Amino acid sequence: MAIRSTDARWGAIARSFHWLIFVLIAVAATVGLIMVELPKRPNIIPVYSFHKSVGLTVLALAALRLLWRLFDRRPREPAMPAWQRWASRLVHGALYVLIFAIPLSGWLFDSAGGLRPLHWFGLFEVPKLLAPDGDVEDVAEALHEALFWVLAAALVLHVGGALKHHFVDRDDVLARMLPWRTRRLRAAAALEPPSPAPAPPP
């Protein structure tokens, strides 16, 4: 399993970041949608703390993923119309922005509320971004919720585009990010030119 990406496939580290962040976003979203419907009682504090901890984890992993992208190559793009290429880049760019913006807005919301210390899974305290401020709290809460629904729409476009590539265009865009190798991906890898042999020592 290649650690770094190749022309035909994302590497193990890039794929791990992709799927781990996706799973954590799904967990945070599910918990977030459930907890806002729960009665405001002290026994739901651990649920809120878990949601916040998962969000901070997404933020940290997103930063590491972006840092890794500076050193990792990108698999080749399949042939596609220019508008699809630009649409893909726009959706991917929006996803990166939202993956940072949503946890940050949640962190700001928690900081401005100033109700209690913020702990990451109970292991250590996370510093506040600012002093308690009711006006900022209201704005951050509204922004956090609005950005979540924008993310949901962007994910629908992202998943829809990946499925179109796989089932309609029948290229390897989805296959190269899957944790396992598909027959289509093995065929694409077989067409890659072999790596040049190292030069003999002088």
Q: How far apart are CA 146 and CA 80, in angstroms?
A: 32
When pLDDT is averaged across residues 21-43 and rounded to a whole number, the result is 94
Residue 103: exposure state from Cβ atoms within 10 A (0-12, 13-18, ≥19):
buried
When pLDDT is averaged across residues 185-195 and rounded to a whole number, the result is 50
Q: What is the pLDDT of residues 49-81, one digit of tens each?
A: 999 999 999 999 999 999 999 999 999 988 888
Residue 2: predicted pLDDT: 87
Q: What is the pLDDT of residues 106-154, one digit of tens each?
A: 999 999 998 789 999 999 999 999 999 999 999 999 999 999 999 999 9
C-alpha dihedral sign at 77, 83, 88, 90? positive
User: What values do phi and psi take at 196, rounded to 5?
Assistant: -65, 145
When pLDDT is averaged across residues 163-190 and rounded to a whole number, the result is 78
- For 93, the 3-state DSSP assignment is helix
At 42, list the tokens. Answer: 């002290």
Does the pLDDT at position 1 exceed 80?
no
Q: With contact defined as beta carbons under 8 Å apart, do 68 and 15 qualify?
A: no
Residue 47: exposure state from Cβ atoms within 10 A (0-12, 13-18, ≥19):
middle
At 151, list the tokens. Answer: 């993310």
Residue 100: predicted pLDDT: 98
Does the pLDDT at position 35 exceed 50?
yes
Does the pLDDT at position 196 exceed 50?
no
Q: Which residue has the higher pLDDT, 92 or 189?
A: 92
**Helix or strand holding residue 188 (H, E):** helix 183-190
Q: Which amino acid is at 195?
A: S
